[in-house]
Chains A and B, each alone.
Chain A
Amino acid sequence: MNPTPPQSAAVKEKSKFAAFWSMLLADKLALAAVIFLLIVITCAFIGPFFLEYDAGRQNLRGRNAPPFDLSRGWQFFLGGDQLGRPLLARIIVAAHNTMMVAGGSVVAAMAVGGTLGLIAGNSRGRAAQIIPRLADVIMSFPSLLLAVIVLYMLEPSVGNIIIVLAITRIPIYLRTTCAEILEVRERMFVQAAKVMGASEMRIIFRHMLPVIFPTLLTIATLDFAFVMLAESALSFLGIGIQPPEITWGLMVSQGRPYLTTAWWLSFWPGLAIVLTTLSLNLLSNWMRTALDPKQRWRLEIGDRKNG
């Protein structure tokens, strides 16, 4: 073991945030992804306040208006849809529902799955046997069918879609948490805490959760992209969100009859989906490296070369 030079060590620990920031700067793609995601999130939150009216206003003269034409105003920059509504404004407004569904499902699935995984990983009793089986059962359920069943019985509102998608994603978090806990609880520092007399709760929340949280966060980022795709597929098939609500997937579906004459109706919302999921994937990849002490050097070397 080399004695670490104390100076550089002190500087390095000055701010974790600064360290992450410099690692983010080192990976230009990840940086672009973060910026794009921030824009999307901003649109999702404040877009509807300003554009809800424009996005819903029909304008027969603007039907299937071609893109890149600024004469009708910036909202028609990406063209107009089959009812003459401005596509750009609609995409911004639809970001709200799309993000809500994906975000809601991921948070719900992570909360439920993570908690169940914690319980399964920490109990030595029957829960450790039964809970993972539950994950198997959900996994072997065709998720499309689950969606159909629930949506038949309930109604395809945003809330219900979130529930359906969340259920299908629970096993991912459950299994990851459970597996990680089983691994972490054998680690020496957990044993050391036990020898000191730390309570079970303290061991879980002070020692184990901080270790597995980065992994969960990385998975959640990736999963956010997956759920977005799933939601848009449901909407596309007509068993997801129903008009007049809009999501990107629904917009692609609505543009489909006009493919031959007005490709932009389906193209732009689809592109929004691609760019958002791509950004999430890039971010997740970056996180996997940045949050893993063993991989972090890759970014730090990159930093040196670029700077």
Chain B
Amino acid sequence: MGDHLLEVQDLSVTFHTMRGPVHAVRNVSWHLDRGEVLAILGESGSGKSVSASAIMDLIDIPPGEISSGCILFEGRDLLTMSRDERRMFNGKRIAMIFQDPLSHLNPVYSVGWQIEETMVIHGTSRSEARAETVRLLRKVGIPDPEGAAKKYPHQFSGGQRQRLMIAMALALRPDVLIADEPTTALDVTVQAQILALLEELQTETGMGLLIITHDLGVVAEMAHRVVVMNGGQIVESGSAAQVYHTPQHPYTQKLIAAAPGQGDMSLGVAEQEPLLRLTDVKKNYGEFAALKGISFDLLAGETLAVVGESGSGKSTMAKVLLRLEEASGGKAEYEGRDLFALSPAELFEMRRDIQMVFQDPTQSLNPGMSVYDLISEAWVIHREILPKDKWKARVAELLEQVGLQAEHMHRYPHQFSGGQRQRIAIARALALEPRIIVCDEAVSALDVSIQAQVIELLDSLRQELGLSYIFIAHDLPVVRDFADRVIVMQGGEIVEQGSVRQIFEAPRMRYTQDLLAASLNPDPEVQAARRVKRLEMAQ
């Protein structure tokens, strides 16, 4: 006791809400030593960030309440200190970086000012801080550090902003750095760079690093030890390799089993006439070419994955295909007709055949409509599908088909969990009896275990109903498990396309290879091997 750098003992935090007290974490204990990387792994609602917030004095009291426990930093209990005493630790001895750096940086002050501030409030002189800021910016790999210090957060890219956050956090060489989902919103290649930077800085300064994440891959890449949380409690802890290979708790076992990228790859569907053929599709926004001539075929009963990083044009492609945006050029032939040249009446008919499932079901379901209204709207719009007296029975049938219950039809979207909402969205798409469903990042917003269930549902529906999917995703392991064929996009162009085996086992193009290399494997040993290889390549 007391010989760890940072130790959380028996911490319980309760939030008093309208539905009574919510125990965010209960009796949580863990510790972190100098030079160590500890990961707290958990899905949303597991309470994985709460102990970090308690350490940084970020919990609002009320409605929050720390009902038991202590937080020892170098043997002193932070929770018994005054607010001003604790401020002396924040930023100086313990620093924190967050998910979504854009909203965590103050938009109206220059980034230089914000980094300097950390030092100035803890006693560095302004001029000294200014010089140090430039040095820090250079260290975290920001080009033109002098100029960058005068710029504002919105003038940087997502990855650069996280570098800025890191520079700010490390300004005073803290003993502990807490990173709360530091790479979640970033593209895989950027994620790899940020993680590498964190690792390098950690080795150099010997600080203790606490990473809070939902991603087994991040744990495998970074952590020495891992603490697994579920429902506000620690269910398991141990070394990263040990937890991955011999998980003891059923929850951990389930979580690891659900991690994508481990199953068999598809062999593809038989050669046939394409159901949908895109030829040289272009889309320009003013001067900017978002799509620079895309061509591909979609076969009946096939899952075609479209992967790429942000700005690759993959979502624009979906919008153009569904005529939410008008194409600037090219053709999309479906049953002998060009989708881009349909009359309004023909377009209306076509809507039945091609449907879409959106990324975030919270936003894609109208919050003011009941499940029955949401699903039956399809038949209000397309009267010919079903006579009104059969609607109720059909809604019930569809709900059961997507794994919900018939009595759910009278509820509203906010009464469901994220995974259930996505099932409702799928049921809504099915109501029109489509032949093609475009899934735009349809499982990205979901927790891993839920993700696996939704993928399974989509797969069984495909077999049952003979659907074809265009599956847009940035998450390569999910694609590996689900897709028959893969298209890799970058900067509005198709870099490479081929069967899922060909793309994952023998990628031809450099960009595809980079993507695959940056994608994290949940197995710590695989990651360790890759790291060795990376180092060799770098030298």
The 0/1 profile, CB within 8 Å of A marked 1, for residues 112-139 of chain B is 0000000000000000000000000000
CB distance from B399 to the nearest CB of A (A): 14
Known contacts A1-B44, A188-B360, A301 near B382 by CB under 8 Å: no
Contact B363 A197 (CB under 8 A): no
Binds A, one of B279-287, B415-423, B474-482: B415-423
Contact B382 A193 (CB under 8 A): no
CB distance from B366 to the nearest CB of A (A): 4
The 0/1 profile, CB within 8 Å of B marked 1, for residues 170-194 of chain A is 0000000000000000011101111
A304 within 8 A of B: yes
The residue in chain A whose Cβ has the minimal distance to the Cβ of B416 is A4
Q: Name the interface residues of B291-327: CB closer than 8 Å to any CB of A.
A: 322, 324
CA distance A171 to B434 in the complex (A): 44
CA distance A197 to B356 in the complex (A): 12
The residue in chain A whose Cβ has the minimal distance to the Cβ of B410 is A13
Contact of A197 among B360, B382, B419, B450 (CB under 8 A): B382
A21 within 8 A of B: no
Contact A301 B324 (CB under 8 A): no
* B63 contacts across to A, CB distance below 8 A: 301
Q: Name the interface residues of A245-286: CB closer than 8 Å to any CB of B.
A: none
* B450 contacts across to A, CB distance below 8 A: 1
Contact A4 B415 (CB under 8 A): yes
CB distance from A206 to the nearest CB of B (A): 8
Contact A193 B415 (CB under 8 A): no
Contact of B414 among A187, A293, A303 (CB under 8 A): A293
The residue in chain B whose Cβ has the minimal distance to the Cβ of A301 is B18
Contact A3 B368 (CB under 8 A): no
* B363 contacts across to A, CB distance below 8 A: 187-189
Contact of B364 among A189, A202, A210 (CB under 8 A): A189
Contact B381 A189 (CB under 8 A): no
* B141 contacts across to A, CB distance below 8 A: none
Known contacts A188-B360, A193-B377, A196-B378, A2 near B417 by CB under 8 Å: yes
Contact B411 A3 (CB under 8 A): no
* A195 contacts across to B, CB distance below 8 A: 322, 324, 351, 355-356
CB distance from A208 to the nearest CB of B (A): 10
CA distance A4 to B18 in the complex (A): 14
* A297 contacts across to B, CB distance below 8 A: 17-18
A145 within 8 A of B: no
Contact B447 A196 (CB under 8 A): no
A54 within 8 A of B: no
CA distance A135 to B162 in the complex (A): 42
Known contacts A8-B19, A192-B364, A1 near B45 by CB under 8 Å: yes
A198 within 8 A of B: yes
Known contacts A188-B360, A188-B363, A196-B377, A3 near B417 by CB under 8 Å: yes
B469 within 8 A of A: no
Contact A207 B366 (CB under 8 A): yes
B428 within 8 A of A: yes
Interface size on B, residues (CB 8 A): 43
The 0/1 profile, CB within 8 Å of B marked 1, for residues 76-97 of chain A is 0000000000000000000000
CA distance A258 to B397 in the complex (A): 78
The residue in chain A whose Cβ has the minimal distance to the Cβ of B425 is A192
Contact B377 A9 (CB under 8 A): no
Contact B418 A1 (CB under 8 A): yes
CA distance A195 to B428 in the complex (A): 11
* B351 contacts across to A, CB distance below 8 A: 195-197
B367 within 8 A of A: yes
A35 within 8 A of B: no
* B428 contacts across to A, CB distance below 8 A: 192, 196
* A13 contacts across to B, CB distance below 8 A: 410-412, 415
The residue in chain B whose Cβ has the minimal distance to the Cβ of A191 is B324
* A192 contacts across to B, CB distance below 8 A: 356, 358, 364-365, 425, 428
* B151 contacts across to A, CB distance below 8 A: none
The residue in chain A whose Cβ has the minimal distance to the Cβ of B22 is A2
Q: Name the interface residues of B390-446: CB closer than 8 Å to any CB of A.
A: 410-412, 414-420, 425, 428, 432
* B381 contacts across to A, CB distance below 8 A: 196-199, 202
CB distance from B327 to the nearest CB of A (A): 16
A211 within 8 A of B: yes
CA distance A1 to B44 in the complex (A): 6
Known contacts A188-B358, A188-B363, A197 near B352 by CB under 8 Å: yes
* B377 contacts across to A, CB distance below 8 A: 193, 196, 198, 206
* B355 contacts across to A, CB distance below 8 A: 195-196
* A301 contacts across to B, CB distance below 8 A: 16-18, 63
* B347 contacts across to A, CB distance below 8 A: 197
CA distance A8 to B411 in the complex (A): 12
B348 within 8 A of A: yes
The residue in chain A whose Cβ has the minimal distance to the Cβ of B370 is A13
* B45 contacts across to A, CB distance below 8 A: 1-2
Known contacts A8-B19, A13-B411, A202-B381, A1 near B419 by CB under 8 Å: yes
CB distance from B219 to the nearest CB of A (A): 21
CA distance A128 to B412 in the complex (A): 34
Q: Which of A6, A187, A189, A304 has the most CB of B within 10 A?
A: A189
CA distance A303 to B381 in the complex (A): 41
Contact A9 B415 (CB under 8 A): yes
* B17 contacts across to A, CB distance below 8 A: 297, 301
* A193 contacts across to B, CB distance below 8 A: 366, 377
The 0/1 profile, CB within 8 Å of A marked 1, for residues 205-229 of chain B is 0000000000000000000000000
The 0/1 profile, CB within 8 Å of B marked 1, for residues 1-24 of chain A is 111101011101100000000000
* A8 contacts across to B, CB distance below 8 A: 19
Known contacts A196-B378, A197-B382, A304 near B364 by CB under 8 Å: no
Contact B414 A191 (CB under 8 A): no
CA distance A197 to B381 in the complex (A): 7
Q: Name the interface residues of A207-222: CB closer than 8 Å to any CB of B.
A: 207, 210-211
Contact of B324 among A1, A189, A194, A304 (CB under 8 A): A194
The residue in chain B whose Cβ has the minimal distance to the Cβ of A303 is B18
Known contacts A188-B358, A191-B324, A195-B356, A3 near B420 by CB under 8 Å: yes
CB distance from B409 to the nearest CB of A (A): 12
CB distance from B316 to the nearest CB of A (A): 13
CA distance A207 to B364 in the complex (A): 11
Contact A304 B18 (CB under 8 A): yes
* B16 contacts across to A, CB distance below 8 A: 301
The residue in chain A whose Cβ has the minimal distance to the Cβ of B366 is A189
The residue in chain A whose Cβ has the minimal distance to the Cβ of B368 is A210
The 0/1 profile, CB within 8 Å of B marked 1, for residues 94-125 of chain A is 00000000000000000000000000000000
Q: Which of A2, A9, A188, A195 has the most CB of B within 10 A?
A: A195
CA distance A300 to B425 in the complex (A): 29
Q: List 23 A-B contacts (CB under 8 A).
A: A1-B45, A1-B447, A3-B416, A3-B417, A4-B416, A6-B415, A9-B415, A13-B411, A13-B412, A188-B363, A189-B363, A189-B365, A189-B366, A191-B356, A191-B364, A192-B358, A195-B322, A195-B356, A196-B378, A197-B381, A197-B382, A199-B381, A211-B368
Which 3 residue pairs spanning A and B have beta carbons closest together? Answer: A197-B351, A1-B418, A300-B18
Known pairs A1-B417, A13-B415; list 6 more (Cβ under 8 Å): A1-B418, A189-B366, A191-B358, A192-B425, A197-B352, A301-B63
